[in-house]
Amino acid sequence: MPRRKQAKRTTVKDLRSILRLTYEQDLSVREISERLQISKSSVATYLLRAREAGLSWPLPPIYASEAALQRALFRRVGRPPQDLSEPEWPRVAQELKRKGVTLTLLWQEYRTAHPDGYGYTWFCEKFDAYRRRANPTFRHRHAAGAVMQTDYAGPTVEVIDPQTGESRQAQIFVAVLGASSLTFAMGSFGQRLPDWIEGQTRALSYFGGVPKAIVCDNLKAGVVKALWFEPTLNQTFAAMAEHYDTTILPTRSRKPRDKGKVEGARC
């Protein structure tokens, strides 16, 4: 049996190279990993430690020695922060819903106000604990063939007519099987009833079968009145369900977790 190849040990020189390639050449973690022959997890870990220590590139002269750089990167490992002031977690959760806002950005704002506060890993763990307390969830277990979840993706895709050069925005219909997460997507130039029905039927054709239920968004073209147990469906949408011998279950308003699979697939 061949011997397993020994992993390359990361040196301080490698750490400097990681910072330089990230901030000077704007390379990705994968590209740095391939160039330096270091695992992607190691590259990502050292970049995280550098962010927690407030380091970028070029390094200040005080980090010219290897010992100084190592102290800066590893001084907080496993130790609690000196400033135990916690952010306003409800505000963090609200800000995170805004487009373009990330947990890293919010942590950087927090550290600007609290230089000796929580590191990035601690910040994420504390926020995750708050989110579990504020929004308790249970795990959906889907049996094979039980559910197909459908919705339209939020962002549109630009489509250019090669003959006229005309540009139009296409809506993206997404369908996902609950058990396998097999995903189907198609584009259309609207979210009208014909587009909605065509998306459902093409998805069923692609999957090669019909689930027991279709969990869908409360699209006005297909759902007249959204009630979880007694929804009022558009007549054409109801006829489609009867034809395929399946059940339509529109989700509750503002409850994306009712169709979590398709919500994840459409991002």
Quote the number of domains for the chain.
Answer: 3
Q: According to the model, what pLDDT value does residue 212 have?
A: 85
Q: How confident is the model at residue 251 (pLDDT cuts 50, 70, 90)?
A: confident
Are 29 and 97 in a shared domain? no
- Write down which residue in 61, 78, 95 finishes a domain: 78
Helix 40-52 / helix 66-74 crossing angle, nearest 10 deg: 90
* Range list of H helices, the chain: 12-23, 29-36, 40-52, 66-74, 89-95, 103-113, 120-134, 193-207, 235-244, 260-265
CB atoms under 10 Å from CB of 11, counted, come to: 11
- Do residues 88 and 198 both lie within one domain? no
Do both 252 and 157 map to the same domain?
A: yes
Q: Report the pLDDT value the prediction gives residue 206, as an integer from 0 to 100.
A: 92
Rg (CA), the chain: 25
Q: Is the pLDDT of residue 148 over 70?
A: yes
Whether residues 64 and 108 fall in one domain: no
- Please give the Cα distance from 107 to 97 (Å, whole number): 15
The CATH code of the domain that includes 258 is: 3.30.420.10
* 65 lies in the same domain as 128: no
Q: Which residue has the higher pLDDT, 109 or 53?
A: 109
Closest CA to 234 of 196, 187, 180: 196
Residue 29 lies in a domain: yes
Establish if 127 belongs to a structural domain. yes
Q: Do 131 and 156 belong to one domain?
A: no
What local confidence, expressed as pLDDT, does residue 151 receive? 85
Q: What is the pLDDT of residue 7?
A: 42
> Would residue 142 count as lying in a domain?
no
- Examine residue 2 and state whether it is found in any structural domain, yes or no: no
Burial level of 224, CB count in 10 A (0-12/13-18/19+)? middle
Q: What is the pTM of this model?
A: 0.45
Residue 1 lies in a domain: no
Would the CA dihedral through 35, 39, 44, 50 be positive or negative? negative
**Quick check: is 141 in a domain?**
no
Segment 232-241, tens digit of pLDDT:
677 888 888 8
Statement to judge: residues 151 and 72 lie in one domain: no
Stretch 192-220: mean pLDDT, rounded? 86
Is 244 part of any domain? yes
Residue at a domain's end among 136, 160, 181: 136
For residues 157 and 240, state if they share a domain: yes
The residues with which 150 forms a beta bridge, in sequence order, are 175, 216
Residues constituting the chain? 267
Q: Are 196 and 225 in contact (CB under 8 A)?
A: no
Q: Are residues 50 and 111 in the same domain?
A: no
Query: How many whole angstroms separate alpha carbon 241 and alpha carbon 159?
Result: 31
Q: What is the Cα–Cα distance from 42 to 29, expressed in whole angstroms? A: 9
Q: Which domain holds residue 183?
A: 147-265
Give the per-residue pLDDT at 166.
86
For 5, the 3-state DSSP assignment is coil
Give the separation between CA 111 and CA 125, rounded to whole angstroms. Answer: 15
CA nearest 130: which of 141, 140, 118? 118
58 occurs within a structural domain: yes
Please give the full DSSP string across 201-219, using - where no structure is assigned.
Answer: HHHHHHHTS--SEEEE---
Please tell me the least confidently modeled range out of 15-24, 26-35, 81-90.
Answer: 81-90
**Spatial separation of the C-alpha atoms in residues 110 and 87, rounded to whole Å:** 7
Q: Within this chain, do residues 110 and 218 fall inside the same structural domain, yes or no?
A: no
At 10 the pLDDT is 63
Residue 142 is predicted with a pLDDT of 65
Pairing mode, strands 167-177 and 147-152: antiparallel
Q: 13 vs 10, 22, 65, 227, 240, CA distance in Å?
A: 8, 14, 11, 62, 64
* Strand-pair category, 147-152 with 157-160: unpaired
Domain boundary among 78, 98, 113: 78
> Based on the domain organization, do 40 and 130 belong to the same domain?
no
For the stretch 34-90, pLDDT in tens is 888 888 888 888 888 788 777 778 887 877 777 777 777 766 444 555 667 788 888
Are 251 and 151 within one domain? yes
Whether 47 contacts 29, CB under 8 Å? yes
